[in-house]
Amino acid sequence: MKIEQLISPLDNRYNDKIADLATNFSESNLNKVRFEIEIEWLIFLCSKGGKNFPALSKANIKNLQALKNSFNEKSAKKIKSIEGKTNHDVKAVEYFIRDELKKSSSLKRYEHLVHFALTSEDVNSLSYAILMRDAQIIYLKQLDIIIKELNKRARTWSSIPMLARTHGQAASPSTLGKEMKVFVERLKRQRNSLKTMKPLAKFGGATGNYHTLVISDPNINWANQTKKFLASFQVEQNPVTTQIEPHDGIAEVAHCIQRVNNILIDFNQDIWMYIANDLFKLKLKEGEVGSSTMPHKVNPIDFENSEGNLGLSNAMMEFFANKLTKSRLQRDLSDSTVLRNLGVGFAYSYVGFSSVLKGLSKLQPNKEKAINELENNWQILAEAIQIVMKLEGLDNAYEIIKLKTRGVNLDQNSYAELVENLEISEAAKDKLKKLTPTNYLGDAIKLAKL
């Protein structure tokens, strides 16, 4: 297919940003994982499946392992060719392996055990669990980079004072670093949560009751045996299911990624506002254009791009969580096409990550603007005044200061005059006179350095 015919920007515009995820969720890799599962299951049956299965010699195990490791682009194309006839993807993998075993005089006697006692959903369940497991590793690695970069700026900018705003109005001061730290801690919480989420798979046959395995040997505890098999892939077993694993684990991951996306959307929007208010400037890049008609513009495009792509990821993740956890009776096939798109949800979030990191690299605090904004808003010290007055025993302190400051813009002189005229002790007045909008920071600097 020509590049101009690719419908998704993930496949062209953003392809270089999501290479690891694209490889992981590709159909070729899905078939490779199915291929490996089928071969490992054959080895497992003949090694630990009981007396009804022929034993494998060390040489045959070695040959099967060599076959498993031989999967390449040619193998992927052959499977797709078989699927064109069978119209069944898992069965195509089975037939491909059977054809390969027939080529070996020592392995062809095991051909009938390929896909033995399995439903395609057993293979798919484990396959998608493996893809999810590996995707989480890729995703968390990039999330850790964002957390690290934000934390670096939290510490570097820890003591740069800024006017905070609540409801968009001037409020008690903070520091640029502390505001960065808020997002660090929020992301760390979700990262730690995502790390605990383990992919689940089932291996219980057509309706989840291990029928075919039990009939092959009723003396074996097949739930325990299949649990061991799944564990060899670092995947946990869901032992009691219908024909499908109900995908609650995928929903948990999807919801967690939504929370990550929402935290970063919140961050992007805050940074956008800071840039609009000139608290941050953007480093210029040679050759970049901000507007096709206004040459002066330097736009916060990276944060805007990130916001859009994170929103697309949210739409996908919300749908996955809602759709995949519902199935008619034992199963219906509507989940199959949805599962094929799991990588899309991850990828749009991943593109959002890349844009955040690119935007962060361009940010530089405008310290002069931050100080000027604080110096023009001495009324924000009204909070401190009424607290000191209460410490002096004035229980109506809030009401007194509200009358003197609400809707009023104070400067250094009018603030000093207000303090001087208060009916409080000289010690309290001295305490208030030492305050300025740039040093009334509470523990903001300490918090930024946590």
Residues of the chain with CATH 1.10.40.30: 376-448
From the centroid of its chain, how far is CA 448? Answer: 24
pLDDT (mean) for 10-17 = 91
Give the confidence band of 273 by pLDDT, cuts at 50, 70, 90: very high
pLDDT tens, position by position, 231-246: 999 999 999 999 999 9
Cβ contacts of residue 115 below 8 Å, gap of 6+?
Answer: 38, 41, 90, 91, 94, 123
Q: Which residues of 389-406 are buried (b: 16+ CB within 10 A; e: fewer)?
A: beeeebeebbeebeebbe
Instruction: Report DSSP state, residue 293.
Output: S
Statement: residue 1 has pLDDT above 60: no
pLDDT (mean) for 280-286 = 81
% of the chain residues with pLDDT over 90: 91
Residues of the chain with CATH 1.10.275.10: 19-116
Determine contact, residues 207/242, Cβ cutoff 8 Å. yes
CATH 1.20.120.420 fits 19-116, yes or no: no
Statement: residue 290 has pLDDT above 70: no
Residues of the chain with CATH 1.20.200.10: 131-197+244-369
**SS3 sequence of 211-274:** HHHHHHCCCCCHHHHHHHHHHCCCCEECCCCCCCCCCHHHHHHHHHHHHHHHHHHHHHHHHHHH
Give the confidence band of 50 by pLDDT, cuts at 50, 70, 90: confident
Give the confidence band of 6 by pLDDT, cuts at 50, 70, 90: confident
pLDDT (mean) for 334-353 = 96
In the block, residue with structure tokens 């040997």 = 217
Q: Measured between alpha carbons, how far is 282 from 280 in angstroms, rounded to an integer?
A: 7
The least confident of 40-44, 145-149, 152-156, 195-199 is: 195-199
Does the predicted model carry a pTM greater than 0.85?
A: yes
Catalytic residues: 167, 291
Chain-wide mean pLDDT for the chain? 94
CATH tag, 131-197+244-369: 1.20.200.10
pLDDT tens, position by position, 387-405: 999 999 998 999 999 999 9
CATH class belonging to 376-448: mainly alpha
What is residue 289's predicted lDDT score, i.e. its pLDDT? 60
pLDDT tens, position by position, 134-174: 999 999 999 999 999 999 999 999 999 999 999 999 999 99
Give the confidence band of 4 by pLDDT, cuts at 50, 70, 90: low
Tell me which H or E stretch contains 173: strand 169-175
Determine contact, residues 291/301, Cβ cutoff 8 Å. no
pLDDT (mean) for 347-363 = 97
Statement: residue 264 has pLDDT above 60: yes
The least confident of 123-132, 268-277, 285-294 is: 285-294
